[in-house]
């Protein structure tokens, strides 16, 4: 239960911090934090939670991470479903808080996309479904390679959280224009629940692609470097 609660609050912070920066601050009138700021915000949520709750739950904060670690032989199967449920609920709770805050000045945040992930006409750069699929698979694959490697017992101690957070920031710098960056089904589900409509119809990609990428990374790491 302690680990599940840690995953709930950790994912809550990831969604509130990351998506909150995108919704509230990215294009703030006159001076906003932009793509660079949003990317950094997502990375900082992971860094802070890695050191804040990593010793309790491992700070997965992401169903794809849990699945990738399971495939790599670094996570117990009996804990997978409780972790995923906690992560998804934490993300939805954060989206609810963000929605309440963001609508406090009368802004129609849903019309603005509410930081939901999308492809085609809902991609920030108009990228196709195929481009989005490849992007999400590859980005999640590389993300998991870093996560599994940085938390390996042979890796330098104490730096895993920093490496993982920086990797997530880098991933956002690359892929926000393509999909708004998911690499995390819980993050995608949380925003899609509130946006509905197109976000729900495209949600499958942001569940399937990260899981494929994570599973492939688990297989590669286990086969090559374990």
User: Phi/psi of residue 62, each to 5°?
Assistant: -170, 120
Q: Which residues of the chain have pLDDT under 50?
A: none
Ranges of H-type helices in 118-184:
129-150, 160-179
Handedness of CA 28, 32, 35, 41 (dihedral sign): negative
In three-state secondary structure terms, 66 is helix
Residue 180's closest CA among 22, 16, 12, 11? 22
pLDDT of 31 reads: 67
- Cα–Cα separations (whole angstroms), residue 18 to 4, 28, 54, 62, 93: 21, 15, 19, 13, 14
| Long-range interactions of 102-111: CB distance < 8 A, separation 24+ | 102/23, 102/24, 109/23, 110/194, 110/195, 110/196
Per-residue model confidence as pLDDT tens digits over 146-201: 999 999 988 888 899 999 999 999 999 999 999 999 999 999 999 999 999 999 99
Distance CA(79)–CA(69), nearest Å, equals 11
45: tokens are 């949520």
pLDDT of 161 reads: 94
Would you kindly state where each structural domain of the chain is located, as residue ranges? 2-224
Alpha carbons within 13 A on the beta-carbon side of 38: 25
- Per this entry, what is the length of the chain? 226
CATH superfamily of 2-224: Glycerol uptake facilitator protein. (1.20.1080.10)
């Amino acid at each position: 239960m302690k680990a599940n609660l840690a995953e709930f609050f950790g994912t809550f912070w990831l969604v509130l911090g990351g998506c909150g920066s995108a919704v509230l601050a990215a294009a703030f009138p006159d001076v906003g934090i932009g793509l660079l700021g949003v990317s950094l915000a997502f990375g900082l949520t992971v860094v802070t939670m890695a050191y804040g709750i990593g010793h309790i739950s491992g700070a997965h904060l992401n169903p794809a991470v849990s699945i990738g670690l399971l495939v790599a032989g670094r996570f117990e199967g009996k804990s997978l479903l409780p972790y995923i449920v906690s992560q998804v609920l934490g993300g939805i709770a954060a989206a609810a808080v963000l929605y309440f805050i963001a609508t406090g000045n009368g802004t129609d945040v849903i019309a603005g996309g509410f930081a939901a992930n999308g492809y085609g006409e809902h991609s920030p750069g108009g990228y196709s479904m195929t481009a989005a699929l490849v992007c999400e698979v590859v980005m999640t694959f590389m993300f998991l390679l870093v996560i599994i490697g940085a938390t390996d017992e042979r890796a330098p101690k104490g730096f895993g959280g920093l490496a993982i957070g920086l990797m997530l920031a880098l991933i956002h710098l690359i892929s926000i224009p393509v999909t708004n960056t998911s690499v995390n089904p819980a993050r995608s589900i949380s925003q899609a629940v509130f946006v509905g409509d197109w976000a729900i119809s495209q949600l499958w990609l942001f569940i399937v692609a990260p899981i494929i990428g994570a599973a492939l990374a688990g297989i590669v790491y286990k086969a090559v470097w374990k």
